[in-house]
A = this chain, B = another copy of it.
């Protein structure tokens, strides 16, 4: 589909966060980085910067929106999951830029363009990698495998084999041991950019809840797309002043894990409301929006769901 040009007043990237780790007493070794180059003596001792995070900030012209809007990706992915869908359409990064928001897309710690981690020393292990087959059922595309090609009725994910392979190529190794560093880095990002609307998907929702509880004055609103987890029960009061939108897709009832994850999410939403907070939980099928997988921002109706998010932000007074 043809879309009009997009004008950027500013655009650039930066890295935030990270800790210094000192290493001593290790033997140096010779490394030939490139065939035909010259060997280098690599001294592994010294200072490492671990746990930094890459962020790309784009400011459209003209600009609208009361604050920057951040897009925090889920586990095993990078910020690229917001950029272009597996079937080549514009993603939510484009959608919200076109509404006039300053959009900040980040790659979580140890993924994508974020920085150094020694493996396994800082990561406490080797990363989890996924087969082509694994996310097919887990992300609620269909039963069986992508090679079978069966999808749930009305499926909105672009599940042809070419698009599925594009999606899998965009997945990256993922550690399950770096949550503390990642939360710290999101804190550093909010500190640098300033109070922002945080739109988070899946594992990103876990960090978004926690970040909002740690630094409530830095979060203007939370939009949680199938959050994989909740905030801390003992800190619900911190969320009283932050409007929250939670969105769940289709095919959850028949899934092995999502009924429990959603039930815990909705119970946490009740707890936030009990502490005086405002939470809207949207079950897309109940609104007549059917066929959404776990990868809602990549589904063929991704612009429709983004419009729902945009309307909610307008209703909260965050865009005019």
Complex-state Cα separation, A42 to B131, whole angstroms: 9
Q: 8 extra interchain contacts, Cβ-Cβ under 8 A, other than A5-B61, A113-B172, A119-B119?
A: A5-B8, A5-B9, A13-B80, A49-B165, A49-B169, A52-B169, A78-B112, A115-B172
Within 8 A of B (CB), among A51-90: 52, 54, 56, 61, 75, 78-80, 83-84, 88, 90
Q: Report if A138 contacts B (CB, 8 A).
A: yes
In the bound complex, do residue A80 and residue B131 qualify as a contact, i.e. CB atoms below 8 Å apart? Answer: no
**Number of A residues contacting the other chain (C-beta, 8 Å)?**
90
Q: Report if A118 contacts B (CB, 8 A).
A: yes
Q: What are 21 sample pairs from A and B whose C-beta atoms fall under 8 A apart?
A: A11-B94, A16-B169, A31-B176, A32-B176, A33-B128, A33-B174, A34-B202, A37-B261, A38-B260, A38-B261, A43-B131, A44-B131, A46-B131, A47-B131, A47-B132, A48-B129, A112-B112, A115-B169, A116-B171, A119-B173, A126-B126
In the bound complex, do residue B15 and residue A170 qualify as a contact, i.e. CB atoms below 8 Å apart? Answer: yes
- How far apart are A93's CB and chain B's nearest CB, in angstroms? 9
- In the complex, the count of this chain's copies comes to 2
Interface residues of A (CB under 8 A from B): 3, 5-16, 18, 20, 23, 31-38, 40, 42-49, 52, 54, 56, 61, 75, 78-80, 83-84, 88, 90, 94, 107, 112-120, 126-134, 138, 145, 165-166, 168-174, 176, 179, 202-203, 206, 228-230, 256-258, 260-261, 264
Complex-state Cα separation, A228 to B35, whole angstroms: 9
Q: Which of A37, A138, A173 has the most CB of B within 10 A?
A: A37
Point out the residues of chain B lying under 8 angstroms from A133, CB to CB. Answer: 43, 46-47
Point out the residues of chain B lying under 8 angstroms from A173, CB to CB. Answer: 116-117, 119
A83 and B166 contact, Cβ closer than 8 Å, known pairs A32-B176, A131-B44, A131-B47: no
In the bound complex, do residue B230 and residue A33 qualify as a contact, i.e. CB atoms below 8 Å apart? Answer: no
**A48 contacts which of B38, B80, B131, B174 (Cβ < 8 Å)?**
B131
In the bound complex, do residue A113 and residue B80 qualify as a contact, i.e. CB atoms below 8 Å apart? Answer: yes
In the bound complex, do residue B260 and residue A131 qualify as a contact, i.e. CB atoms below 8 Å apart? Answer: no
**A229 contacts which of B3, B37, B145, B258 (Cβ < 8 Å)?**
B37
In the bound complex, do residue B170 and residue A113 qualify as a contact, i.e. CB atoms below 8 Å apart? Answer: yes
Complex-state Cα separation, A128 to B31, whole angstroms: 9
In the bound complex, do residue A129 and residue B116 qualify as a contact, i.e. CB atoms below 8 Å apart? Answer: yes
In the bound complex, do residue B44 and residue A12 qualify as a contact, i.e. CB atoms below 8 Å apart? Answer: no
In the bound complex, do residue B78 and residue A113 qualify as a contact, i.e. CB atoms below 8 Å apart? Answer: yes
Point out the residues of chain B lying under 8 angstroms from A56, CB to CB. Answer: 83
